[in-house]
Amino acid sequence: MQVYGVTGWKNSGKTGLMERLIAEFVARGLRVSSVKHAHHSVDIDQPGKDSHRHRNAGASEVILATAARYAIMHENRDGEPPLSDLLARLGPVDLVLVEGYKRDSHPKIEAHRHETAQPLIARDDPTIRAVAANCDVAVDRPVFDLNDTKAIADFILDDLGLNV
């Protein structure tokens, strides 16, 4: 299983790029999973529902299953798990795209939008292999147009040595 990240500051275009890359890789025949890091609390469960009651009773994990999908809710009572622990829980796929986790060691592409007025992370982070931007940027690695999904996907596959 290969892992590649999309990182950047808030409102830099990470999620849109992730969405386009997932669709592009799937269209090329790859099996893709994703991991999204959030800095705020997210709860897919509803107070009063059976699964919520199971969690409140102390269950470490609750699986909520339907005919269409299932979700595993794991209580992080000992703090946030490292990315490697989460990746180990995924089923086998060709590629896992990771949004966020900017300080982890996997290879990444940085999404950058002029409107955010944020500095490039790539200048101080060797794990960022390229930048996808909506403006001109001066950096010592490849720079792609933020909306050139095909070229970005080609770069990622080449960087990982995946021949598709």
pLDDT of residue 37: 87
Arithmetic mean of pLDDT, 47-68: 83
pLDDT of residue 64: 84
- How far lies 155's CA from each of 26, 45, 55, 104, in Å? 16, 38, 43, 20
**CB neighbours of residue 149 within 10 Å:** 19
The C-alpha atoms of residue 136 and residue 4 are separated, in whole angstroms, by 23
Q: Is the whole model's pTM more than 0.85, yes or no?
A: yes
pLDDT of residue 106: 97
pLDDT of residue 71: 84
- Using the predicted structure, report yes or no on whether residue 43 has a pLDDT greater than 70: no
Instruction: Assign a CATH topology to domain 2-41+80-160.
Output: Rossmann fold (3.40.50)
Arithmetic mean of pLDDT, 55-65: 83
pLDDT of residue 40: 57
**CB neighbours of residue 52 within 10 Å:** 17
pLDDT (tens digit, 9 = 90+) per residue, 80-106? 889 999 999 999 999 999 998 888 999
What residues are paired with 131 via a beta bridge? 110, 143
pLDDT of residue 39: 64
| 8 A C-beta contact, residue 30 and residue 2 | no
